[in-house]
Chains A and B, each alone.
Chain A
Amino acid sequence: MANATIENVKKSFGDVEVLHGISCDIRDGEFIVILGPSGCGKSTLLRLIAGLEKITSGTIKIEERVVNDLEPADRDIAMVFQNYALYPHMTVFNNMAYGLKIRKMTKEEIRNRVHKAAEILELSELLNRKPRQLSGGQRQRVAMGRCIVREPKLFLFDEPLSNLDAKLRVQMRLEIRRLHQSLNITSIYVTHDQVEAMTLADRLIVMDKGFAGQIGTPLEVYEKPANKFVAGFIGSPAMNFFDAEMAGDGKSIRLSSGEGLQLSGEGVTETAEKTVTVGIRPEHFVICDENKAQIHLRTDLVEKLGADTLVHGYFKDNGDALTLRLNGIQHFDRNNLLPMWVAPENVHVFNQQSGDRLN
């Protein structure tokens, strides 16, 4: 158990900089998820923390100790790899005992630790098997067992569930969460799956092309995305974006159709009477009576998913496409005008050029 600090960490491969200065304070026992699309540098960041790659500039500290130049072995960390990286020629027991033997523990201590971990992970029956005799989920567990027995300061996961089928993924996700609650080891978990991220994380680092787009709790990231990238990346279906004109007092916006929406808070004055990008999540549109309506949607296709219904359509007259998500199964005809209303706190406004959040 330990805290960790990442300070302005940059990484270049040759001339190409892939991480452009990431900073984050990780608290003792925290579960941090690094979320981002493929190729944004998540694994690279994790490998820097593990010591598998050398950082180009910046500082990484584990428990107040700068580890920049320490070998992976000396950082007291454990890592679960995407392909599990189990030693194929060793039994499950020996896979888990490998790191302990190197640390010269007594046979008895090793046996105790391995059996305890095996019990937690329900691997006790499988200790004499070789990795090739295990299913994907079992291999995954062995990979975690190998980390648990070491009782490291820091747990690192690199997309550990991405090779499992959907059902197993849900199950293992819960198991990882449960494990973290009982062991309370500081963990850093890389994934591109936002559901995994939202359910596991105490805090999220949303990464975009080598930058940390936002660092915050899952709810913060969902409710107040720091920029257009984060807003569009979190949530499914993705947030709707369209251009609109900011009113002079900065407290409302006007769409090109002539209709308007109210904003919450103090108002955004710096972009008064300029064009901004507006974002509204599909689930935040409320269908209402005509007299309360702020905007109208012309319906196009309707997808009924059972638990909810997706309505695709356009703003009243101009062509911006929109998607709505409504609870339950609902029926709409094509080419209908739906009157709608959006709560002010659910209207996100972004700078049209930089994409930074304005309200």
Chain B
Amino acid sequence: MEKQRVVFNNKVLPYMLLAPQVAITLVFFIWPASQSLFLSVLQQDPFGLSSTFVWFDNFSTIFTDEIYRKSLGTTAIFSLLVTLASMSVALLLAVLANRVLFTGRVYKTLIIWPYAVATMVAGVLWYFLFNPTAGIISHLLKSMNYDWNHGLYEGQAFFLVVFASVWRQVSYNFIFFLAGLQSIPPSLIEASAIDGASPFRRFWTIVFPLLSPTSFFLIVVNVVYAFFDTFGVVDAITGGGPNHATDIMVFKVYHDGFKGLDYGGSAAQSVILMGVVILLTIIQFRYIERKVHY
């Protein structure tokens, strides 16, 4: 098919078409981001009446803060686990779904559902299921003599926020992996079967490498998800506790800012968070993207 190209001679039109997107970016990204940058070098007085310019005091305070350093570690492990687990579970489910393509409609719909659930709702859902006094799952665990109380035990709390975050993100990853799998020509798999590769080997030498553009895209998306979108899960399930075990960076920004009313410190944290994610994305694009295009 011949590509159709419509030509507009109007010089203003392109700018008008771009305007809504530019406006949204300005209002929702650039403006708040510059506000944070600005706030991060100010210190408010206790009554919020005035603020003083303090250079990088907020930053140095943060980095000497034991709790903040713990939060950095927690965030790193949390993001790694969420990204890895949600991607590998999704890939496994997608491979299974891809095999039974024509009978698997119900299965696919069920897997996709969690994505329609807001993160906060997902958090509340798992909060109730695991609630130490009222939850079905914690009840079951107790009947098996396992003492579940994520309000008390750091490991359990951490596991639960990871689990709930993964649960919701699996759907999203699943859709992309399934689409990626379906775009691999069956004849490639057949050729490798004829070449003598076992199903396992076919997967690792053919399917997995061919999925790498999808995987790369999902890594970027999942890291951003783990850093930002999981706020709702943490807020609903643990509120950062116990003993800051689930106090990931994005939650701490919110908590110190809106609960602790430390605007300067919170802004400084959000600037750091922004920096970390920008850095990660740059690394991903520079080092991983190169390897995924064949």
Contacts and interface: CB of A to CB of B under 8 A. Distances in A.
A52 B193 contact: yes
A77 B194 CA distance: 7
Contacts of A81: 187, 190-191
Contact of B191 (A79, A103, A132): A79
B194 A102 contact: no
A72 to B, nearest CB: 5
B210 A98 contact: no
B203 to A, nearest CB: 13
A164 interface: no
Contact of B206 (A50, A79, A87): A87
Interface residues of A, number: 24
Nearest to A74: B196
A98 B195 CA distance: 7
A33 interface: no
Nearest to A82: B187
A102 B294 CA distance: 22
B188 interface: yes
B201 interface: yes
B197 interface: yes
Contacts of A288: none
B190 A102 contact: no
Chain B: interface secondary structure? helix
Nearest to B194: A72
Interface in A158-174: none
A83 B187 contact: yes
B188 A72 contact: no
A73 interface: yes
A85 B187 contact: yes
Interface of B: 185, 187-188, 190-198, 201, 205-206, 209-210, 212, 294
Interface of A: 50-52, 71-73, 77-79, 81-83, 85, 87-89, 98-99, 102-103, 130, 132, 146, 150
Given A85-B191, A99-B196, A102-B196, 16 more contacts: A50-B190, A50-B194, A52-B194, A72-B193, A73-B198, A79-B191, A85-B190, A87-B188, A87-B191, A87-B192, A87-B206, A89-B209, A89-B210, A98-B197, A146-B191, A150-B195
